[in-house]
Amino acid sequence: MSLIGSTSWSVKPAPANRTQLRKLLESAKGEPEFVIAAVIDIRGFSSFAERVDSIQAAAYLRRVYSKIIDGYLQGAKFCKLTGDGLVVVFPCSENVEHVAAKVLKSFIRLVNEFPRLCEGDPLINFDVPKKLGIGLSRGAATRLISEGITLDYSGKPLNAAAKLMDLARPSGLVLDDSYGVELMPKPIKSVFESTRVYLSGISEGSLSRVYYTEGITKIPASAMALPGARWRHVEDEMTISDWKGCSKDAYYIGLPTSARGRDDVVMSAEFTTPRDLSRHEVSHITVDDFDYVASPKARVVFRPKPYVDRAVRRGARSSSAMKFNVDYLVE
């Protein structure tokens, strides 16, 4: 039975009656389970809700959630509404590789198709949000169950998925290293870029590897900063044409001070396409393939060519400026 009208849902929701719910809670018990947790958020819903009547906002949520549940959440066993968001849990104690790949494919498809999800719906004859943010994590969670009814899930994967969803801006999909990059089929893996970020309450005192949808999601630089840590920033900028001229061999950017180590260095590239300029935006690429050399002079060494080529494929012109950034923790 569905939470909002779908006939494909297999888990009954907890009753709304306070007395019944209290009775269920008194007999509830926690059961450990390996899960994939997803947290979904409709971007821009608050401003949308201010523009339309409340009955229109409610109708849109009902329709869009029904379409998401019926079309993209096969295999899920728990779902919880959070206003304009959705928490979804997929058990993965068995066939984890198959389940992880299937879930990832479904959510990539959802991100791509979300802007058109309500097209053709005669009830939705008004402008609706077009962007969706999704966070994904995998691990051990606790299932709160009573009389065969799943009341809730808790645990690190759900907390991490919520943090990752917040990074999936302006839209897209972000998953952490615990999801298992080795479980990604090659065609799916090519959709993602990776970087390292600080997740408050999840990766205390260190940076965690995350994967995000290329060209859709833009991880803010602030996410890469450890609270209280001393960061230094160095950059080198030339035109795409100039980078091409020096990109056949290794290139280095000198650092004014030494970094704590290779794992404390974050590199990225910035450039603009004509589309970016029209939207007052900047495109980003994470630079993963680089070496850190500590002596005799601290520097990072990398090959610009692969990243210049990617910028060109994404629409950057030869005259466009391209900047390589180095952010690192000092000793």
pLDDT tens string, the chain, 331 residues long: the values are: 233 333 334 444 545 577 877 888 888 999 999 999 999 999 999 999 999 999 999 999 999 999 999 999 999 999 999 888 999 999 999 999 999 999 999 999 999 999 999 999 999 999 999 999 999 999 999 999 998 889 999 999 999 999 999 999 999 999 999 998 877 888 888 899 888 888 888 876 678 889 999 889 988 877 877 776 788 899 999 999 999 888 667 899 999 999 988 888 889 899 999 988 887 888 888 898 899 999 899 999 999 999 999 999 999 999 999 999 998 888 6
- Phi first, then psi: give them for residue 254, nearest 5 degrees: -75, 145
Interacting residues of 291 by C-beta distance below 8 A, sequence separation 6+ = 262, 300, 301, 302
Segment holding 240, helix H or strand E: helix 240-245
Q: Is residue 252 part of a domain?
A: yes
**What's the half-sphere exposure (Cβ side, CA atoms, 13 Å) at 255?**
30
Please tell me whether residues 318 and 174 are part of one structural domain. Answer: no
Q: Tell me which residue range forms the domain holding 111.
A: 18-223
The conformation of residue 11, written as its DSSP 8-state character, comes to: S
Provide the β-strand partners of residue 139: 35
Please tell me whether residues 78 and 157 are part of one structural domain. Answer: yes
Q: Is residue 12 part of a domain?
A: no
CATH number at residue 23: 3.30.70.1230
Distances (CA, A) of 259 to 56, 93, 106, 231, 263: 54, 41, 40, 9, 9
Domain count along the chain: 2
Please tell me whether residues 216 and 249 are part of one structural domain. Answer: no
Provide the β-strand partners of residue 176: 210
Please tell me whether residues 302 and 208 are part of one structural domain. Answer: no
> Could you identify the residue written with the tokens 């603009």?
272
> Could you identify the residue written with the tokens 């709160």?
144
